[in-house]
Structure 1
Amino acid sequence: MALPWLQSFSALAETTNPVFPKRFAVLFMGNGVNEDHWSSDGSGAGMTLSKTLSPLEPLKHKINVIHGLFQKRATGHGIHPPQTGSLLSGADIRRGAIIRAGTTVDQVVANRMGRDCAQPSIVLACEQPMTGYHETNYSMAYSSHISWQSPDSPVPNEVYPSLAWDNLFENRGNLRNMSVLDRVKDDAAALGRQISSDDKTKLDEYLTSVREVEKRIDRLRGAKDKAEETAKQHNRPVFSMDRPANGLPEDLRDHARLMCDIIAIAFQTDKTRVASLLLARDLSAMYYPFLEVREGHHAASHHNLSDGYERIARFHLSQLAYLATKLDSMPEGNGTVLDNSCLMWLSNMWIGRKHDNTRLPLVLAGGLGGTLKTGRTLSYLEDGDDNRKLCSLFLSIMDRMDVKLDQFGDAETRLQRL
């Protein structure tokens, strides 16, 4: 079990300027937003945010709302899978039985930085992937995965919080039934006697937060085991069952928050520096009774100007706000974990009723170790297609994470004004 940053460690290392790891995460919601309620203007304390972006109001000094970027190779090839399969790679994807996309930006970063961590990346989702083919003759794999480790292989999504947690803390065999904190309590007690009182308080807060998440995970572990037994009795795969029969949390709010909590702990303890979270996939079948929306996500997106779909988009944007706030509450040197991170929230299209992806809704949170100025609205809508490439943004982010490439996807230049 890794520790968060403590001031006492810097003192022992006899350094006053510790170098903190940079982290990168992607949060994805499929099918676009309500464009009437997605806007921002100005910068700093005077920045104004629209209704859908309002969950970010307390964090507006640490975000960048970026308008007008797009993935050109994802346009003009039909709807849904071809609009999603190359979103994070800028690759030309292939129709038919042989899937081919491209290594995504998160995995490029993970391949370069992952050797310094227990896990190169974590790839999470709140919804099971689809199988088969779309009417456009593109595989549904393109709609189900945003992270690809190679052109022909998406990274499997982990949808079960208990399995993501076990993998993070190496819970195997009998260890699954033992609290992580019980395994390290003697070491934690010994450390507590050697560090400053401020660090002792920080350590106690950290251990308490881990235990709180662990208890929520434990409640779900039994549901997953029961689902597997039920599926076996009925001779059907678990993934073909609806929630909560499949062992996933019945309330999507609990599911999304747990996944964000896992990312936060993983970043805080440097278990990994790269993460992705698919909140709702393209062609999502998610339902939102707590938002008083009767239609499923995909059907609702065809009426994306409705109040109900605006609530759906705002709910998913609020997960970015939740994760960013959690990271911002974790001290790291003179700043926070958020200050050393870059969180990117985006969708694969702008207007669901038109399947329009000629511009994409996108927000960044975090300063990436002081390399990324925040508190801004950046618009590229009038800059011309060559100057509003999403892959140019990826090159700029990778530069700041010391991953230098001459080209990525369809871009050879960095994003101006970032």
Structure 2
Amino acid sequence: MSTRTRHMKRRTMLRGILGGAGTVAVGLPLLEAMLDNHGEALADGSPLPKRFGVWFWGNGTHPGNWAPQAQGANWQATGILAGLAPVKEEISVISGGTLPVKNAHNLHVEGAVGILAGGNPLLHPSYKGQANNWDFLTVPSPSVDQIAAEHLAGSSPYKTLAIGITPVHTSNAGSNNAPGTAISYISHPAPYVFNPPVMDPSKLFAELFGMFHPGEPPPEALARAKVLDAIRDDASTLRGRLGKYDQSRLDLHLEGISELQNRLTAMVAGGEYCSTPPDPGNPDSARLRARAMAELVAMAFACDLSRVVSLEFSSPASHVGYPDIGITNASLGASFHEYEHQKGYDANVIKGLTYFMELYGEFVAALRAIPEGDGNVLDRCCILGTSDVAGGWDHAFNDFPLLVAGGAGGALVRPGIHVSLGGGNPCRVPYTCLKAVDSPVKSFGSAQYETSEAVPGLLV
């Protein structure tokens, strides 16, 4: 926990005068100060927005065997990558990178934090030698999707969309209520702060489109327009009383209120092909849930409801089964993660790794299916596909799996190519994506992960 000067009650509110006619009170997130000491062109002439996404799966792939043989644009979508064949020209494959983990903590967390946040995990000071140190680890800095969102969000109502498909990791026995976040979540605005993924497509539909009608402002606009202004002075006073982490949480909370006001007050005109999709429900099948989420994200991008998405198909380590392809914990006698440790890269594991690539390909296809301007939504996207390790069997980090899809408004090479990093730093790929969407960052990552080099041939 960070240093703080005083405790405060959990029900502390930010208060202010709204429009001179009455008071408004806004709740606060759970702060450490509340705990004990242990604990192309649019109609207005502006360019069509670029978008960024992360599509993440747990437990890696098969190092030395997943990538194509040929380099350049003539790579073939075969083997584990066979599911990418329908969208092969939209995708670049980046192989041969070695993620420079320190091997100081759980390797699945080190890998996920390394590639997504470009740093070494932070271990919470409440860790006292418990066996499950992964439940106490978090990111040292914002994840790549949040870096992109800082630049791309603009006036879109949702700064970022966080989506999940299979159940996330929960704390192990002996570390219940542990403060770590990086074993379970991939989208982090700050250390110990994560964007919880929406797991139900029907709930995402209701959030995005339940009250949205292209071209019409929401009816609540006038009533909610000044909430943030009303409590701003009280928030400023409170901030001076808080420790470092609590200040960060408060800032993010106020940012969330600002996003909500955008949703309530902005007239979201959308693009020519923006429309309200049907409610997809919540299918039992992970494949069907992933497809439904992909279609909702594609339309959310087309309607400019958001410009950034993180989709977590499975958590780091992939402690789940995949009934869609006959791989269940019961049939394997263990989770996919444990089974791979026991059996290596047998037919069941290869089937699972191929399945992940099929679903990434379907996500890319959903973006390509929505027309926009002279092309489609994917033309202005950069979608990073990656995992937490190169190989789950032995926690390998050589030949780290990385995919980049889309055109990023002409910034990414089309058709896609296969590039080998020759043992180099895989963080060059998220850095390349940030540059493709015009983020002003000069580098990505810290310590041994830091890079300011783009992947050769990927940027136009």
TM interval, short-chain normalised: 0.7 to 0.9
Mapped contact 2:428–2:451 kept (Cα < 8 A): yes
Give the gaps of 5 or more residues in structure 1: 185-201, 221-248, 383-387
| Residues 1:36 and 1:131: Cα distance change in structure 2 (over 3 Å) | same
Partner residue, 2:435: 399
Q: Deviations over 1:48-102 (max 9, x none)?
A: 2231111111222221000023432464544322332343111221224365412
Q: Is the 8 A contact 1:110 1:121 kept in 2?
A: yes
Match of 2:285 among 230, 248, 251: 251
| Aligned mate of 2:420, from 379, 382, 386 | 379
Q: Distance in 1 between matches of 2:102 and 2:150?
A: 24
Q: CA deviation at 1:275?
A: 0.2
SS of alignment partner, residue 345 of structure 1: strand
Kindly indicate whether the alpha-carbon contact (under 8 Å) linking 1:75 and 1:357 is maintained by their aligned counterparts in 2: no
State the superposition RMSD in angstroms.
3.0
Q: Give the superposition deviation at 1:140.
A: 5.5
In the alignment, what sits opposite 1:340? Answer: 380
Please give the alpha-carbon distance, in whole angstroms, between the structure 2 residues aligned to 1:120 and 1:315: 30
| Partners of 1:72 and 1:59 in 2: CA distance | 31
Cα deviations across residues 102-130 of structure 1 (Å, max 9, x unaligned)? Answer: 20110011122213211011011113333
Q: 2:69 aligns with which of 34, 41, 46?
A: 41
Aligned to 1:275: 309
Counterpart in the other structure of 2:58: 30
Partner of 1:197: none
With structure 2 as the length reference, what TM-score do the two structures score? 0.67
Structure 2 partner of 1:286: 320
For residues 144 and 257 of structure 1, what CA distance do their matches in structure 2 show?
Answer: 22
Unaligned 5+ segments in structure 2 are 1-39, 127-135, 217-270
Residue in structure 2 matched with residue 124 of structure 1 by the alignment: 163
User: Which residue type is aligned with residue 38 of structure 1?
Assistant: W
What is the aligned counterpart of 2:184 among 144, 152, 162? 144
**Paired residue for 2:131?**
none
Question: How far apart, CA to CA, are the structure 1 residues paired with 2:101 and 2:175?
Answer: 16
Select between 351-360 and 68-77 the one with higher mean Cα deviation.
68-77
Deviation at 1:342, TM superposition (A): 1.0
- CA shift, 1:309, in A, is 1.3
Out of 353, 375, 380, the residue aligned to residue 393 of structure 2 is 353
What secondary structure, in the 3-state scheme, does the structure 2 residue paired with 1:48 have? coil
Q: 2:147 aligns with which of 105, 108, 116?
A: 108
Q: Please list, as runs of the form range in 1=range in 2, the aligned pairs for 1:51-130 lying within 5 A after superposition.
A: 51-73=79-101, 75=103, 77-96=105-124, 97=126, 99-101=137-139, 102-130=141-169
Alpha-carbon spacing, 1:412–1:352, altered in 2? closer, same or farther (3 Å) = closer
For residue 36 of structure 1, report the CA deviation from its aligned partner: 6.3
Aligned to 1:193: none
1:153 partner SS? coil
TM-score norm. by structure 1 comes to 0.73
Within 2, Cα distance between the matches of 1:283 and 1:46?
A: 32
| 1:40–1:48 CA contact under 8 A, matched in 2 | yes
Contact 1:71 1:90 in 2 (8 A): no
Aligned partners of 2:157 and 2:437: how far apart in 1? 18
The structure-2 alpha-carbon separation of the partners of 1:46 and 1:402, relative to structure 1 and needing over 3 Å to count, comes to closer
Give the direction of change, closer, same or farther, for the CA distance of 1:31–1:140 in structure 2 (3 Å limit): farther
Cα distance, 1:81–1:99 mapped onto 2, change above 3 Å: closer
Distance in 2 of aligned mates of 1:161 and 1:378: 35
Task: Deviation per CA, 1:114-169: give whole Å up to 9, x if none.
Answer: 13211011011113333336999996621111111112212212212222222212
Contact 2:181 2:192 in 1 (8 A): no
For residues 166 and 82 of structure 2, the distance between their equivalents in structure 1, rounded to whole angstroms, comes to: 25
1:130–1:305 Cα change, 3 Å: closer
CA contact (8 A) 1:286 1:297 kept: yes
**Letter of the 2:74 counterpart:** G
Q: Following the alignment from structure 1 to structure 2, what is the Cα–Cα distance between the partners of residues 407 and 416?
A: 13
Is the CA contact (8 Å cut-off) linking 1:44 and 1:60 kept in structure 2? no
Question: Per the alignment, do residues 263 and 183 of structure 1 end up closer, same or farther by CA in structure 2, a change over 3 Å counting?
Answer: same
Within-5 A mapping of 1:252-331: 252-293=286-327, 294-295=331-332, 296-302=335-341, 303-331=343-371
Select the structure of larger CA radius of gyration: 2
DSSP-derived class of the 2:428 partner: helix
Count of residues in Structure 1 that have an aligned counterpart in Structure 2: 342
Preserved contact between residue 291 and residue 308 of structure 1 (Cα < 8 Å): no
- Structure 1 contact 85–143 (Cα < 8 Å) conserved: no
Task: Indicate if the aligned counterparts of 1:132 and 1:139 stay in contact, CA closer than 8 A.
Answer: no
